[in-house]
Structure 1
Amino acid sequence: MTAIELCAGVGGQALGFERAGFEMVAVVDIDGDTCSTLARNRPDWYTVQDDLNLIEPAKHQPMDRADVLSCGLPRSPYSIAGKQLATDDRRDTLRATLDVAAYVRPRVLVIENIPTFLTAPKFESARTEVREAVEGLGYEMVSSTLTATDFGVPQERRHGFMVAMHPDDLAHFRWPAPTVEKCPSLGEALFESMSSGGWPEAADWAAQADGPAPLIMGGATGRGGADLGATRSKAQWARFGIYGGSIGDSVPGPDFRRNPDIEPRHGLPRITVDQVALLQGFPADWDIVGGKTSAYRQISQTTPPPLAEALSRQVMFALQRSSGTV
């Protein structure tokens, strides 16, 4: 079965679909570094760099059809920091996604966004547009929120999903059950990396970081350099012994000593882009193209592949059951 990923970003959702057995026939994103990341890691994917609001699918033969069309909508139009302008925000791609769905007519449409997209009264008109569009295609739609820690991703992260398909297919769809009994803590996830530079306090730090990492955020386009978010978010990271004011260039070395009583920039370790990728559930060999700010922006705003894979397997199972192949 085949899939197309819109607003593909660093490839988290697309990688999840691939792991579930789908062939990615096209991935689309507006950012140059992002498309270079996709092309470097998956040269066999047909990668399109284009503005989804301006794209003409007919000019890209691989986008003619697919079993699944998936899109992780840009979060800024639906976030408080982005003023929650939704479809009135020029960065939003919801209507463009629905237009591409009308062209491709996939068996399944998957839309991902922040959980409040599914429930907030402010976004009811946007949800109505989705419902009307999928009904026009002859689909029915369900929605739910999935939590990253349920799928082994060591981070307090929740994603809202809309899944639409023909009623005969939807009858076989179930939301994924948790795949782990206990999710690794931040310290467990990063201990090997934190100790790789010879830092003698890595074990003590890991013992202190005994819960899932805070939500990885920040790095929005136009917001400035790479950091771990606003003041509240940085304070959450500090409780786990991490300085959130910037992203590190390397892991702590043998001479580094924690000292939270001095200026935090110098008294706490910083996590690197590679470590952020680990906290997002990416394989260690996933090569992210671009400078630190660009790389962090790509990895911080993606869907963790293990979560995407769990959902994708349920989509695959529903289509196979409906077709009588399982």
Structure 2
Amino acid sequence: MARTNELKYSSVEICAGAGGQAVGLHDAGFKHVALVEIDKDACATLEANVASHEEWNGCRVLREDLNDFDPASLGLRLNERVDLAHERDTLPERNEQAQAGLPRLDLLAGGVPCPPFSAAGKQLGEADERDLFPVMLSLVRSLDPRAVMIENVRGLMDPKFEDYRKRILSELEAMGYVKCLWEVLEAKDYGVPQLRPRSILVAMKSQYEPYFSFQAPEEPLLKTVGAVLHDSMKHRFDAVDDPRAEEAFKRWHEKAQTDVAPTLVGGSKKHGGADLGPTRAKKAWRDLGVCAMGVANEPEKMADPGRDLFADAGPKLTVKQAALIQGFPESWPIGGRKTAAYRQVGNAFPPPVAQAVGERIYQAFEDAAKAGVI
């Protein structure tokens, strides 16, 4: 995965986690003004990666509870809505900020918490205190970006949430936005070696909507677990002096090159250590030659090869390998202790999917500009 466009349009991301969506949008050509996240380990991951890369220069990592977050701290002005000039009288602060010459925001993105809409989270929807859609809509109102992108679990698209989705769209329409996309995208179609369906909402100011188009790949870019993890798994087996290593690697690879992985899950801090999912997922991992009963140590920290590499079901995955399964580049290390790092990875949005959607938003801005729409 590589950046496909000039870093040209500004973005702010909330609920940034370990940076999966941020990496994808960056590679699509969006220059982040800020990444907002509440988890300290995820913030440490973001800070370490942003600070070490000159292309992210100027991006701030803000550890904030969104329920208390003041968007004015971002120093962004409200955009003038060129198609709603009559609002200048009703929203004087819009003119004041515009006259101050503060920068404009092009994209507000975020993966608001999934548990309110996930079967594992009991699907309480707006009755769940973790539902941050109202906060996201409030930020849209305050920051007035040219486009909005929100990702969530597939469960949000269930019929029981139809009225809630309609209310979300109604609020966006009242602020001058038009829905461009609200579909379930499957990560495996974008080169991510994993079954990971995600609900993606894109809404743009009405003047940009005619320039947005999106179509799922006609020929999905399928990659197997074995193809993606071959080199890293070979390195792990080569790092141990054990006569079983060569045969165990071949046995794993024969199984792993047959399919993509089941959905990685990050789990909850309220529960025990990390593993790769519920019973059905564990069986799917076993079919791929992977032991899902825990997460392995990286080769340089491995104290028990029997646990990490030679379980009956096969080797366990390391955090770095789980990140590859999510579509993270190797150049984006995940910080924190093993369990905390794995949870960041398991809860992430695959960067290649974010990049694919981000590129279409970017292109809409480009085409609109060519047409004289500002």
Q: 2:21 aligns with which of 10, 13, 25?
A: 13
Is 2:252–2:290's contact at 8 Å kept on the other side of the alignment?
no
1:113 aligns with 2:152: yes
Q: 1:126 aligns with which of 160, 164, 173?
A: 164
- Cα offset, 1:206, TM superposition: 1.2
The 1-side partners of 2:63 and 2:348 are apart by: 17
Q: 2:63 aligns with which of 45, 49, 68?
A: 49
Q: 2:290 aligns with which of 242, 249, 255?
A: 242
Across the aligned residues of Structure 1 and Structure 2, the Cα RMSD in angstroms comes to 2.4
Is 1:109–1:165's contact at 8 Å kept on the other side of the alignment?
yes
- Cα offset, 1:96, TM superposition: 0.5
- Rg larger in structure: 2
Q: Which residue of 2 aligns with 1:203?
A: 250
Residue 290 of structure 1 aligns to a residue whose secondary structure is: coil
Distance 1:215 1:267, change over 3 A: closer
Counterpart residue type for residue 353 of structure 2? L
> More displaced, 55-64 or 294-303?
55-64
1:142-153 matches, within 5 Å, as 142-153=181-192
- Cα offset, 1:316, TM superposition: 0.3
- Cα offset, 1:288, TM superposition: 1.1
1:285 aligns with 2:331: yes
1:225 aligns with 2:260: no
The 2-side partners of 1:178 and 1:206 are apart by: 28
- Cα offset, 1:276, TM superposition: 0.4
Distance 1:55 1:311, change over 3 A: same
Q: 2:360 aligns with which of 289, 306, 314?
A: 314
Q: Which residue of 2 aligns with 1:261?
A: none
Distance 1:92 1:172, change over 3 A: same
Is 2:12–2:32's contact at 8 Å kept on the other side of the alignment?
yes
Residue 42 of structure 1 aligns to a residue whose secondary structure is: helix
| Structure-1-length-normalised TM-score | 0.91
Is 2:252–2:314's contact at 8 Å kept on the other side of the alignment?
no
Distance 1:325 1:222, change over 3 A: farther
What does the per-residue CA deviation read over 1:290-309, in whole Å, with 9 as the maximum and x for residues that have no partner? 11111011111111111111
The 2-side partners of 1:235 and 1:211 are apart by: 13
Q: Which residue of 2 aligns with 1:212?
A: 260
The 1-side partners of 2:299 and 2:317 are apart by: 7
Residue 168 of structure 1 aligns to a residue whose secondary structure is: coil
- Cα offset, 1:179, TM superposition: 8.6
| Structure-2-length-normalised TM-score | 0.80
Q: Which residue of 1 aligns with 2:114?
A: 75
Q: Which residue of 1 aligns with 2:11?
A: 3
Q: 1:37 aligns with which of 36, 45, 60?
A: 45
Q: Which residue of 1 aligns with 2:88?
A: none
